Structure 1
Amino acid sequence: MLRRVEDGAAVVACNTCRHARDAREDGEGRRGGARMAEALRTVKASDPRYDGIAVQDMPCLFACGDFCTVHLRAPDKVGYVLGRFTPDEEAARAILDYAVRYAESAHGRVPFALWPQGVKGHFITRTPPAGFLVAE
């Protein structure tokens, strides 16, 4: 059931996500999650700034009502689930830009002033890393 991947900063895309709230697939019959994973890989390959961020995908993050979801994670850092994206390169770039700042942060917290506009309003959950709770 589990597949081992490299342990580091990663954007995990749900490859079975709906295309939009009201559509499972796009006009070509492709799921939004598959398109988002493809866009993330395309954007990552286009710029060496993203070299430290892995793009991974898996079926169903169980955030079906929030379509086109991704999980941002790194060892010993708070993780985030974001969703309600349009599965395109503009959204992928915003996610990866945020992921770079996230990977550079001490505990996964990126100051709001540094958030790319494209991720604002897309956060669904925040999850503590194993063995920790957020203390604020």
Structure 2
Amino acid sequence: MSIYENWKAKYTDGWKLELQYWDDLERLAQRSRKDFAAFVGVKPDDQVTISDQTLPIVELGSYTDNKFEPRSAKGLPRAGRELEVALRLNFLIEVDQPQKVQHVFTFALTKDNGSFKAIDRVDFKSEQFLVPEFTNFFSHLTQSL
């Protein structure tokens, strides 16, 4: 094998490993959405209608500049060797007038030495609604990786 062929093979193998790395994280992000839906007691495809807009109850996306953006797993932002993931829980509460509630949970997924890791992006010290429940889910997620 020539030096050229040897280098080409090494680069090809490297790119295959890199693509597999990101494919694995994207599949894990999609699985996290499904697991979170099951955790909160809904089916992954369940939807809610809010202000004439039909949304998934558990939605996958990104969260930057205090704004949630729905995205497919392939469209999630990457930071270094981490895939930035946001899950939004959409629901309608019935009070005097129906109120739209959307709560976003964020975490990063990475893979180190063949093991997946989830890194929380939630301030667990805050007293926000649903943070204790997300703490429980996050513990479940990291144990299942």
Band of TM-score, shorter chain? 0.3 to 0.5
Q: Which structure has greater strand proportion?
A: 2
Larger Rg: 2
Q: Which structure has greater helix proportion?
A: 2
Answer 1 or 2: higher relative contact order, Cα 8 Å, separation at least 6.
1
Taking structure 2 as the reference length, the TM-score comes to 0.32
